[in-house]
Amino acid sequence: MCLTPLLAMVPDSYRSALELTDLGGLTQDQAAAQLGLSSSGMKSRVQRGRRMLRDGVGKWCRIELDARGARADATTRDDSGAC
Protein backbone atom coordinates (compact mmCIF):
# COMPACT_ATOMS: atom_id res chain seq x y z
CA MET A 1 0.00 0.00 0.00
CA CYS A 2 1.42 3.40 -0.93
CA LEU A 3 1.13 5.82 1.98
CA THR A 4 2.94 8.73 0.36
CA PRO A 5 -0.21 10.61 -0.79
CA LEU A 6 -1.86 10.05 2.59
CA LEU A 7 1.26 11.10 4.47
CA ALA A 8 1.27 14.33 2.46
CA MET A 9 -2.14 15.16 4.00
CA VAL A 10 -0.74 15.02 7.54
CA PRO A 11 0.28 18.48 8.89
CA ASP A 12 4.02 19.22 8.64
CA SER A 13 4.95 18.86 12.31
CA TYR A 14 3.29 15.44 12.58
CA ARG A 15 4.55 14.31 9.19
CA SER A 16 8.13 15.21 10.19
CA ALA A 17 7.79 13.16 13.36
CA LEU A 18 6.58 10.12 11.37
CA GLU A 19 9.23 10.52 8.69
CA LEU A 20 12.03 10.63 11.27
CA THR A 21 10.79 7.75 13.41
CA ASP A 22 8.61 5.33 11.44
CA LEU A 23 10.26 5.87 8.06
CA GLY A 24 13.70 7.18 9.01
CA GLY A 25 14.55 4.69 11.70
CA LEU A 26 15.32 7.17 14.49
CA THR A 27 14.14 6.53 18.00
CA GLN A 28 11.62 9.01 19.34
CA ASP A 29 14.32 10.40 21.66
CA GLN A 30 16.71 10.91 18.72
CA ALA A 31 14.00 12.59 16.66
CA ALA A 32 13.05 14.81 19.61
CA ALA A 33 16.65 15.96 19.97
CA GLN A 34 16.89 16.65 16.23
CA LEU A 35 13.72 18.76 16.26
CA GLY A 36 14.40 20.42 19.62
CA LEU A 37 11.41 18.83 21.35
CA SER A 38 10.99 17.03 24.63
CA SER A 39 10.67 13.24 24.51
CA SER A 40 7.05 13.47 25.63
CA GLY A 41 6.35 16.10 22.97
CA MET A 42 7.74 13.81 20.27
CA LYS A 43 5.77 10.86 21.60
CA SER A 44 2.58 12.93 21.34
CA ARG A 45 3.40 14.04 17.79
CA VAL A 46 4.10 10.49 16.66
CA GLN A 47 0.89 9.17 18.23
CA ARG A 48 -1.23 11.98 16.75
CA GLY A 49 0.46 11.65 13.36
CA ARG A 50 -0.19 7.91 13.30
CA ARG A 51 -3.83 8.52 14.19
CA MET A 52 -4.17 11.08 11.38
CA LEU A 53 -2.58 8.66 8.93
CA ARG A 54 -4.81 5.80 10.09
CA ASP A 55 -7.88 8.03 9.70
CA GLY A 56 -6.76 8.90 6.17
CA VAL A 57 -6.33 5.24 5.28
CA GLY A 58 -9.84 4.53 6.59
CA LYS A 59 -11.30 7.45 4.68
CA TRP A 60 -9.64 6.84 1.31
CA CYS A 61 -9.03 3.08 1.27
CA ARG A 62 -11.19 0.01 1.50
CA ILE A 63 -9.29 -2.58 3.55
CA GLU A 64 -10.22 -6.25 3.57
CA LEU A 65 -8.85 -8.45 6.36
CA ASP A 66 -8.37 -12.20 6.41
CA ALA A 67 -9.57 -14.52 9.19
CA ARG A 68 -6.49 -13.67 11.29
CA GLY A 69 -7.01 -9.92 10.96
CA ALA A 70 -4.14 -9.40 8.51
CA ARG A 71 -4.63 -7.19 5.46
CA ALA A 72 -5.84 -9.34 2.57
CA ASP A 73 -6.58 -6.58 0.06
CA ALA A 74 -6.74 -2.80 -0.20
CA THR A 75 -8.26 -0.60 -2.89
CA THR A 76 -9.15 3.05 -3.13
CA ARG A 77 -12.72 3.86 -2.24
CA ASP A 78 -13.31 5.32 -5.70
CA ASP A 79 -12.06 2.06 -7.29
CA SER A 80 -9.35 3.89 -9.21
CA GLY A 81 -6.65 1.41 -8.24
CA ALA A 82 -4.66 -0.12 -5.42
CA CYS A 83 -4.45 1.81 -2.20
Provide the pLDDT confidence category of residue 81 given band limits of 50, 70 and 90: very low
Distance CA 81, CA 79 (A): 6
Mean pLDDT, residues 8-32 taken together = 95
Residue 1, C-beta contacts closer than 8 angstroms, at least 6 positions apart: 57, 61, 71, 74, 82, 83
Write down the mean pLDDT value for the chain: 86
Q: Is the pLDDT of residue 60 over 70?
A: yes
CA 25 remoteness from chain centre: 14
- Confidence (pTM): 0.74
The CATH number covering residue 25 comes to 1.10.10.10
Residue 30, C-beta contacts closer than 8 angstroms, at least 6 positions apart: 20
Per the structure, the count of domains in the chain is 1
Q: Would residue 29 count as lying in a domain? A: yes
Q: Would residue 62 count as lying in a domain? A: yes
Phi and psi of 77, rounded to 5°? -65, -25
User: Please, are residues 82 and 67 in contact by the beta-carbon 8 Å criterion?
Assistant: no
Domain that holds residue 25: 4-76
Q: Would residue 83 count as lying in a domain? A: no
